[in-house]
Amino acid sequence: MTDPSISPNPHHPHDHSQCVHQALSSAEHLCQREGVRLTALRKRVLELVWQSHKPLGAYDILETLAREDGRRAAPPTVYRALDFLLEQGLVHRIASLNAFIGCSSPEHRHQGQFLICRQCHVAVELDQLPIHQAIADSAAQLGFEVESETVEITGLCKRCREHA
């Protein structure tokens, strides 16, 4: 479970290169452990998703890759790379924004919940098992089989509220 007292609060200024470094090295570990390949493209896409704590759309990723490459990266390749990252739990999809965000604790499987600031667009992942459990229990009581779970909360982060 993510301990907010240890990980930097993404809403506050911090050395983000550390976040990126940490994310890439745990991705490498995780892929090695799972026996799957973190190809150069998959790694680059992950790095792009991690460029900030704001969810990033597939279109932005395609744009950046096209600019870097001078040639347009084939969209299906990029979508496959994103699927791979999702499958490995390295990124989460933010359904309400149709965008992706890096996961800071991919080493254990979880269903995250997100606090999304409508002003600065930073999304903070809550990794709260009790929320997940409550949804699972309520669904089970109704005989409902959960196929995907999306818990996205919008509002104003502390920093934006203070600077309002």
65 versus 103: smaller Cβ distance to Zn ion? 103
Choose between 42 and 89: whose C-beta lies nearer to Zn ion: 89
Q: Is 85 in the site for Zn ion (CB under 5 A)?
A: no
- By CB atoms closer than 10 A (0-12, 13-18, 19+), residue 70 is exposed
Q: Which of 103, 116, 123, 124 binds Zn ion (CB under 5 A)?
A: 103
If the CB atoms of residues 81 and 157 are measured against Zn ion, the closer one turns out to be: 157
Q: How far apart are CA 65 and CA 62, in angstroms?
A: 5
Contact 36, 99 (CB under 8 A): no
Under rule CB under 5 A, residue 90 binds Zn ion: no
Q: Is 16 in the site for Zn ion (CB under 5 A)?
A: yes
Please report whether residue 157 would count as binding Zn ion according to CB under 5 A: yes
Secondary structure class of 7 (helix, strand, coil): coil
Q: Helix 58-69 to helix 75-87 angle, to the nearest 10 degrees?
A: 120
The verdict on 117 binding Zn ion (CB under 5 A) reads yes
Counting contacts by CB under 5 A, is residue 126 touching Zn ion? no
